[in-house]
Structure 1
């Protein structure tokens, strides 16, 4: 069994087809198809159920796919560790960040990191926290920013703890309050983020603890659009306080929510017991240095 076969098979599954997989591995569609067929012949099992232009995993394919991800991640770890052993002054940081809060938290880090380590290439992907956890688990990124708590399979380093504020139209009767009990929002429509954003379960779990399931009026992946929907009177939104303060909008106010469980607790996560490249380790060191200084300055 050759690694190129596993790589071709994994990319077919990830990309949803042979033509897109061929682009990912820089070869032809026929070469990818041949590699997958060779893998199936060697294992004596059908891994993909080919229906027209679509391919779905068989039961055996699911097992091979899961194991292949681990094998390929270990291979990448091996190459990264050997590169550092050779003392090369270059490297790659594969970093996953969420759309919520990344501009405020991490933009200054990039400038400092680049000035200290100009030979390290940063490959950045942006997704919701749950998708980033999947990418870390599959070895596609070295570090991902997610919200605590995270599964035991990850190690983590804290970044920031912020309460979650509610966004209200300025004309709303509750807007005059400094702090609003979550239960007082039970009859209002909620505007939430799209599925895959870890902020949603925090809000929904807090609502369930207060004995209600909110009515969801809309979902979006864009903070500015959510603020605009609140301004238009469609419902109430929620943002970490640090971000709410930056999204000043005429006709919209943010207020504290009286619920100690509604916190935005961000951390960097990586695979437990996996090799962490030097580029990722120095990013964590820099993040710890910068965020500790900010915490001391705020205290």
Structure 2
């Protein structure tokens, strides 16, 4: 059973089609289709039920997908362990970072890491926390920036813990207040991050705890767009304090939330029990030495060679 055929099949399932999968595995759509067909022929089972341009997993396909994800993750662990034998003169590091806060929190690490280890190729994946959790479990990335709370499947080091602020138009009646109770916003239209972002679920759950379901008029992954909608008076949006301060403007007002439990906690996370490449260890140690994250627990990460 060839791993490249398994990889093609997994990406077809995860990306929702052959075209998107071909962009991930860097080949043609016809080559991806052929790989899946070869896998089906080898197993003598139909894995995908093709309906027009859509594909759905068969019962056999669900089993193969679940096992294939684990097999590919093991393969990546194997390659990472072999890379460790080569030191840090060459190799690769796969990092997943969220769209929110990465420019401020992680850009300095990229620059410092590149200067210290020029032979290491850094491959970056961006997305919401839920997407990055899936990528971390599947072994597509070794380290990911995840928002708390995180799954017990992962070890982590805290990067930053920020209160979440309500953002409204500068002429909104609430704009002059320093603090507001979440329930006082129950009649306001909300502008939230997309459902793939942890902050979306965090705000929805917080509203339910305070006795109401928010009226969400827009969801987006674009910070600047959300802030412009709020500045235009279309509704209230919510940002971690770091992001709100970076995007301070006279057209918007920033208001603290009375509920201090509504907070944004950024971590660097990795699969619990997985082998970390020397490059990943070096990344975490460098981040800790730069004060970007807390030092990992003793024994979790070995000091990298200099």
TM-score past 0.5 threshold: yes
Q: Is the aligned partner of 1:72 residue 2:72?
A: yes
1:179-258 matches, within 5 Å, as 179-258=179-258
Give the structure 1 partner of residue 162 of structure 2. Answer: 162
Please state how far the C-alpha of 1:41 moved relative to its aligned partner.
3.4
| Closer/same/farther in 2, CA of residues 13 and 224 from structure 1, 3 Å limit | same
TM-score norm. by structure 2 comes to: 0.88
Q: What RMSD, in angstroms, separates the aligned Cα atoms of the two structures? A: 2.2
Contact 2:95 / 2:124 at 8 angstroms: preserved in 1?
yes
Contact 2:159 / 2:293 at 8 angstroms: preserved in 1?
no
Please state how far the C-alpha of 1:36 moved relative to its aligned partner.
3.1
Deviation digits for residues 144-174 of structure 1 (CA, Å, limit 9, x no counterpart): 1111111111111111000001112222222
| Closer/same/farther in 2, CA of residues 261 and 19 from structure 1, 3 Å limit | closer
1:146-157 matches, within 5 Å, as 146-157=146-157
**Aligned equivalents of 1:245, 1:175: Cα separation in 2:** 15
* Corresponding residue SS for 1:288: helix
Give the structure 1 partner of residue 135 of structure 2. Answer: 135
| Closer/same/farther in 2, CA of residues 222 and 15 from structure 1, 3 Å limit | closer
**Aligned equivalents of 1:293, 1:33: Cα separation in 2:** 43
Contact 1:227 / 1:249 at 8 angstroms: preserved in 2?
no
1:80-91 matches, within 5 Å, as 80-87=80-87, 89-91=89-91
Please state how far the C-alpha of 1:26 moved relative to its aligned partner.
5.6
Q: Is the aligned partner of 1:57 residue 2:49?
A: no
Give the structure 1 partner of residue 124 of structure 2. Answer: 124
Moved more, 49-58 or 20-29: 20-29
Moved more, 119-128 or 18-27: 18-27
* Corresponding residue SS for 2:118: coil
**Aligned equivalents of 1:30, 1:189: Cα separation in 2:** 46
Q: Is there any run of 5+ residues in structure 1 with no aligned partner, and where?
A: 295-299
TM-score norm. by structure 1 comes to: 0.90
**Aligned equivalents of 2:157, 2:26: Cα separation in 1:** 36
Give the structure 2 partner of residue 6 of structure 1. Answer: 6
1:24-63 matches, within 5 Å, as 25=25, 32-63=32-63
* Corresponding residue SS for 1:175: coil
Please state how far the C-alpha of 1:190 moved relative to its aligned partner.
0.9
**Aligned equivalents of 2:244, 2:137: Cα separation in 1:** 31
Q: Is there any run of 5+ residues in structure 2 with no aligned partner, and where?
A: 295-306
- Tell me which protein shows more helix as a share of its residues: 1
Please state how far the C-alpha of 1:293 moved relative to its aligned partner.
8.9
Please state how far the C-alpha of 1:16 moved relative to its aligned partner.
4.1
